[in-house]
Amino acid sequence: MLQQQFGALLVALREKSPLVHNITNEVVTNFTANGLLAIGASPVMAYAPEEVADMAKIAGVLVLNMGTLTKETVESMLIAGKSANEHGVPVVFDPVGAGATPFRTEMARRIVEEINIAIIRGNAAEIANVMGEAWEIKGVDAGQAGGNVEALARKAAKELNTVVAITGKVDVVAGLNELYTVHNGDEMLTRITGTGCLLTSIIGAFTTVEKDYALAAAAGLAVYGAAAEMARQTVSAPGSYQVALLDMLYSIDEEQVASMARVERK
């Protein structure tokens, strides 16, 4: 069963303690690093163009996140991404806020054009705007515009030639020939800055122990979502929830994942 596979992948991740190279949102660097440490990975945050190629080639995965975007950041992302591609290191991309401004959209499209992406993870608006389709967005958050998210994910996977993970009330993961829906998570995640950024990095960590990247993405979503549900059982406000989420990422085990993961393969 998928649930047992997800639990086994969590065990494998902790045994491997993979190096996760993040070029990520500066607002949430500390939270992302702590979340990766909690689940069992080894984070590194390296941004300087002089070193990113060397760091990317020794990492288990490279995670690129456009949260705080500058021309210099994009330069580092492209250097690191091309090095990762050259050395067989998977690249996971989070096009934060694609569609919010022309610059942000242009840079997201440039990254997917110039780098071989293993998984792109975003909300529906971000993924649609990377593809050049109109979808409401406000700031760096998705609007509530309607649309068939499963169809969008399948189309994006085909057009971008990558695994696409679209997160929302129900998370959708599409590869070229498969689709998963993941029904884990909690509304409180939307009350804390950086929970999506951390999720992308955790999905990245799972690619180091599972080369079926659609399965890896679904596992990351389910484990993270289950930990989020466990955290909500202990607290009821955002400040304490952030700490509880880190605690649950640390303590969640194989059996809890197997019993709590709610996923469908279509």
Domain for residue 27, yes or no?
yes
- What range does the domain containing 107 cover? 2-133+146-265
86, 115, 198, 247 from 155: Cα distances, Å: 27, 19, 25, 37
Domain for residue 261, yes or no?
yes
Per-residue tokens: 125: 């608006």
Which pLDDT score is estimated for 136?
59
Say what the pTM is. 0.95
Domain for residue 62, yes or no?
yes
Indicate the burial class of 201 (C-beta count within 10 angstroms; 0-12, 13-18, 19 or more).
buried
Which pLDDT score is estimated for 147?
61
Please indicate if the annotation marks 196 as binding a ligand. Answer: no
Domain for residue 139, yes or no?
no
Domain for residue 233, yes or no?
yes
Q: What is the mean pLDDT of each run of 10 residues along the chain (266 residues)?
A: 96 98 96 98 97 98 96 97 98 96 96 98 95 66 60 96 97 96 97 96 98 98 98 96 98 98 96
Domain for residue 107, yes or no?
yes
Which pLDDT score is estimated for 14?
98
Please indicate if the annotation marks 168 as binding a ligand. Answer: no
Which pLDDT score is estimated for 133?
86
Please indicate if the annotation marks 81 as binding a ligand. Answer: no
Which pLDDT score is estimated for 144?
42
Domain for residue 141, yes or no?
no
Domain for residue 106, yes or no?
yes
Which pLDDT score is estimated for 134?
73
CATH code at position 232: 3.40.1190.20
Please tell me the total count of domains within the chain: 1
Which pLDDT score is estimated for 145?
43
Which pLDDT score is estimated for 138?
47
**Exposure string over 249-264, b if 16+ CB within 10 A, otherwise e:** beebebebbbebbebe
Indicate the burial class of 17 (C-beta count within 10 angstroms; 0-12, 13-18, 19 or more).
middle
Per-residue tokens: 123: 């909300």
Please indicate if the annotation marks 167 as binding a ligand. Answer: yes
* Cα(149)–Cα(199) distance, integer angstroms: 19
